[in-house]
Amino acid sequence: MWADSLLASAHSHTRPDVRKIIPRRAFPAGSFGKMSDHYDVRGTGPVLLIIPGGAGHPMGLENPTALLSEHFTVVTYDPLGLAHGQLGKPVEEQRVEWWSEGAARVLEEVLPEGDSAYVFGTSAGAVAALDLASRHPGRLRHVVAHEPPVMAVLPDAERQRAMFTEVRDTYRARGVEAASAHMTAGLEERPLTQQELDKESGAAAQPPSSTDELETPMGISLTRVLVPFTSYVPDLTTLSALSPRLTVGMGIDSTGQLLHRTGTFLARRTGSAARQFPGGHLGLLTHPVEFAARLRETLVPVG
């Protein structure tokens, strides 16, 4: 989720929360970077891997993961370890395959031999989920990609990618309020209002320092994740072959907006199911109970 605002107690019979780190390792140059894989585990049942949006920080996911852990072993992946002590440390510009291959390594750690997992990703996490499905389809039961910003599926892809680049550049030139105004207008596919334009010249319109960029998940998302993830080109051929096990989710409140349109195009071009979810782009946070219920019935239909 492109926002900085991105666990009720489980029943006594469920497995207690477990926080794990797969140790740092080096990969061949140009492969999957040098990183540790951080994740949390709670609940019992089939494995459900959750890949958060934004910079991958799982903030705000306590309520929905608690609800889902009553039915699944919920594994929440934190690709940059921001909730595990890494916030404020250097972060290079991210690549989608770093996140998806990290998610695959986590599944290797948590899945019983021969078993497969459900996967849910939202926003940037949904982009990683699509890439994971393309690279490792055999380990996945069903993937729900909620509002992935894969501009490549759109007829006006170049214009939309330029918009996201402008959001990043606006943040670096004039700070988070100006960047948020550009982002909101871009997602709603409308011009900036006068009030939003005023934010660019107001007293708060100050460029962040290089240190500031790394001190919040929002700063990392805007400067290290936004552009490479919105520039990602999905493997539509492979995803089409997986279409019975792929659902593209769009927020009901996103109707008429860019990411709803993107999801509609993605579902059509892959032959996958398209499903409405409660709320908008941040529906998992704003409507946790309804969203968790919809996700559960999407992954494991009743009857």
**3-state per-residue secondary structure call for 214-257:** HHCHHHHHHHHHHHHHHCCCCCHHHHHHCHHHEEEEEEHHHCCC
Q: Which of 78-82, 209-213, 245-249 has the lowest mean pLDDT?
A: 209-213
> pTM, whole model, 2 decimals?
0.89
Q: By CB neighbour count within 10 A (0-12 exposed, 13-18 middle, 19+ buried), where does 237 fall?
A: exposed
What is each CA distance from 239 to 106, 120, 135, 301, in whole angstroms?
21, 15, 10, 21
* Residue 196: pLDDT band with limits 50, 70, 90: confident
* Residue 199: pLDDT band with limits 50, 70, 90: confident
Which pair of structure tokens corresponds to residue 74?
């919920």
Per-residue pLDDT, 18: 59
More confident residue, 36 or 286: 286
% the chain with pLDDT above 90: 80
